[in-house]
Amino acid sequence: MKRISIAIAAGAILAFGATAASAGTLDQVKQRGSLACGSNSGLTGFGIPDDKGQWTGLDVDFCRAVAAAVLNDPTKVKFIPLTAKDRFTALQSGEVDVLARNGTWTLSREADLGLLFAAVNYYDGQGFMVRKKLNVNSALELNGASICVQQGTTTELNLADYFRSNNMKYEGVVFANVDDVIKAYDTSRCDAFTTDVSQLYGERIKLVNPDEHVVLPEVISKEPLGPAVRQGDDQWFDIVKWTHFAMINAEELGVTKANVDDKLKSDDPSIRRLLGVEGDFGKGMGLTKDWAYHIIKAVGNYGEAFERNVGEGSKLKIKRGLNNLWSKGGIQYAAPVR
Ligand SMILES: N[C@@H](CCC(=O)N[C@@H](CS)C(=O)NCC(=O)O)C(=O)O
């Protein structure tokens, strides 16, 4: 008898332990009054504070959108700078509620690290940058090259795969810190720099003479970048996922930061549901019915966030490409609000 009750008690503690550690993120965020967002702290277009200490970027805006949905206030976000190496542990340990930091969705990051990627807010792929004066026109001409790469990234692994499958050799010049990678490349300690293509454009700006460098045409991997959460809290997973979907649906329906108030009067049933004029689609997630209205009012739709941070309205001038809506030749597609 005694044994059984000890076993039951232990089971109860385990079950309780699991719940306390993982579930209830929404309540924790509400109680704290702010969202802890794991961010990149130096990546133009995705996550970086400007001269006035104001955080900017596509991932930064994503966290603001989550805060708008949950706390009705996009400013209630604490951005926690995380390097490539320490980002997943910070999410696992509960230091951050969401990790929105140019992270690639992979099987092992979900199944082995106990995480879930909630959406893809930027479809990317890995590329190479070289000095123009090297006269290299293709990554296939890089046999024997030295290549600067950051540790703890998918980049490091894809680099090895690419050279192996093309029967080429390279010398990896590897650093844990991105600034060291950039410095090494900029001072010619390596012939090429490799990372996700969006990041090549973001990092090129930091070089002494950005115009002296060129991004090679090959894209050697799939890098679906998106926000991640811990496993074990389905409600929170839904909130993060539907934040992205709300931004995509808003773009598809022509709802923008500027016209969202007018759209409250729209007769279109899809717009009425999205903005909470008809039905209550926030309730099931523990949110108010106008959760998506707050997102759009705060950061705009996905297209607006893209253009402002990485597209035509930014220094990067990246084309929408794969990140265009599915109805406009891209692959951004959201499930419907109904
Ligand atoms: N998407 C890839 C690469 C992401 C990544 O961390 N890239 C580097 C190179 S630009 C970076 O952001 N470093 C910034 C830092 O560690 O502070 C991944 O998830 O592994």
Say which CATH number the domain at 157 has: 3.40.190.10
The answer, yes or no, to whether any atom of ligand 1 lies below 6 A from the CB of 126, is no
pLDDT at site 23: 74
Any domain includes 20: no
Any domain includes 4: no
Any domain includes 119: yes
Residues 110 and 33 in one domain: yes
Residues 246 and 114 in one domain: yes
CA–centroid distance, 181 to ligand 1, in Å, is 11
pLDDT at site 51: 87
Residues of the chain scoring pLDDT < 50: 1-21
Residues 160 and 116 in one domain: no
The answer, yes or no, to whether any atom of ligand 1 lies below 6 A from the CB of 199, is yes
- Determine the Cα–Cα distance for residues 308 and 321; give it in Å rounded to an integer: 16
The answer, yes or no, to whether any atom of ligand 1 lies below 6 A from the CB of 195, is yes
Its domain, for residue 174, covers: 126-221
Residue 33: CB atoms within 10 A of its CB come to: 9
Contact of 231 with 114, CB cutoff 8 Å: yes
pLDDT at site 17: 36
Any domain includes 15: no
Residues 98 and 152 in one domain: no
Q: Point out the domain boundary residue: 206, 221, 236.
A: 221
Any domain includes 200: yes
pLDDT at site 261: 98
DSSP 302: H
pLDDT at site 8: 39
Any domain includes 334: no
pLDDT at site 22: 56
Any domain includes 6: no
Residues 190 and 77 in one domain: no
- Determine the Cα–Cα distance for residues 31 and 335; give it in Å rounded to an integer: 30
Residues 70 and 158 in one domain: no
Q: Point out the domain boundary residue: 163, 188, 221.
A: 221
Q: Point out the domain boundary residue: 221, 243, 270.
A: 221
Residue nearest to atom 19 of ligand 1 (CA): 103
pLDDT at site 89: 98
The answer, yes or no, to whether any atom of ligand 1 lies below 6 A from the CB of 59, is no
Residues 236 and 313 in one domain: yes
pLDDT at site 58: 98
Residues 237 and 306 in one domain: yes
CA atoms 56, 77, 199, 296: torsion sign = negative
Cα angle 222-105-255, degrees, rounded to a multiple of 5: 90
Residues 135 and 119 in one domain: no
Q: Which atom of ligand 1 is nearest to the CA of 153?
A: 20
Contact of 116 with 228, CB cutoff 8 Å: yes
Residues 195 and 232 in one domain: no
CA neighbor of 337 nearest in space, from 264, 296, 265, 278: 278
pTM, rounded to two decimals: 0.93
CA–centroid distance, 305 to ligand 1, in Å, is 20
pLDDT at site 277: 98
pLDDT at site 235: 98
CA–centroid distance, 99 to ligand 1, in Å, is 12
Any domain includes 11: no
pLDDT at site 3: 43
Residues 132 and 205 in one domain: yes
The answer, yes or no, to whether any atom of ligand 1 lies below 6 A from the CB of 83, is yes
